[in-house]
Amino acid sequence: MKVRIVSAGIYEELALLCCFFLLGIVLAASYDILRIFRGLVPHGALLINIEDLCYWIYVAIVVFVTLYEKNDGRLRGYVFGALVIGMLLYTVSIGRICVPPLIRFLKKIESILLRPFRRVCAFVGSKREKGREKCGKLWLTLKKRLKKLWKMVKIGLCKL
């Protein structure tokens, strides 16, 4: 019985396959971060399209650099297959299970943290004259201080 020894090239190709499989998982996770951000901050269609364009440019650059470093820039079909399979497996399993509950949890945390600010805004926006007067005075004082600070910055920049 003869034992076959697998060549080192096969191990390199297998390592490349695993590397791109893991890269697919990482890229899908980075898109989930973008999805979480969209869930917390409302977006219009134009902004979503711009974010997606930036994401896919990022993916193209990362895949190109990884191919260049790991495989001397040679294109292999199984590499892209491993990348897509890694992305799909992550999206179907972890992405689908974890992202929606995480968005709901972060929205609750956000509402708890922003509750005092909303109360202040409601107080300021109310029809009470005292609240308007106090906030008006506060705003004028803040505005004067910012103007003074800006003048000092301009003078400091001119001296350079």
Q: Is residue 138 scored above 60 in pLDDT?
A: yes
23 burial class (0-12, 13-18, 19+ CB within 10 angstroms)?
buried
Q: Is residue 123 scored above 70 in pLDDT?
A: no
- Which pLDDT score, from 0 to 100, does residue 6 have? 67
Instruction: Note the pTM of the prediction, 2 decimals.
Output: 0.66
Q: Model confidence over 148-158: pLDDT tens digits? A: 877 777 777 66
Mean per-residue pLDDT, 66-95: 90
Report how far residue 9's alpha carbon sits from residue 157's, in angstroms, rounded to the nearest whole number. 61
Q: Please list, residue by residue across 112-147, b when 16 or more beta carbons sit within 10 angstroms of its beta carbon and e when fewer do.
A: eeeeeeeeeeeeeeeeeeeeeeeeeeeeeeeeeeee
- Which pLDDT score, from 0 to 100, does residue 146 have? 80
Of these ranges, 2-11, 92-101, 106-115, the one predicted with the greatest mean pLDDT is: 92-101
Residues 82 and 43 sit within 8 Å (Cβ to Cβ): no
Mean per-residue pLDDT, 139-144: 79
Distances in Å between the Cα of 4 and the Cα atoms of 1, 7, 11, 35 are: 10, 9, 14, 48
- Which pLDDT score, from 0 to 100, does residue 149 have? 79
Q: Model confidence over 28-46: pLDDT tens digits? A: 999 999 988 888 888 889 9
Q: DSSP letters of 18-87?
A: HHHHHHHHHHHHHHHHHHHHHHHS---HHHHHHHHHHHHHHHHHHHHHHHHHHHTT---HHHHHHHHHHH
- Which pLDDT score, from 0 to 100, does residue 1 have? 58
Q: Which of 6, 11, 7, 13 is nearest to 72 (CA)?
A: 13
Residue type, 152: M
Q: Model confidence over 16-26: pLDDT tens digits? A: 999 999 999 99
113 or 22, higher pLDDT: 22
- Which pLDDT score, from 0 to 100, does residue 27 have? 96
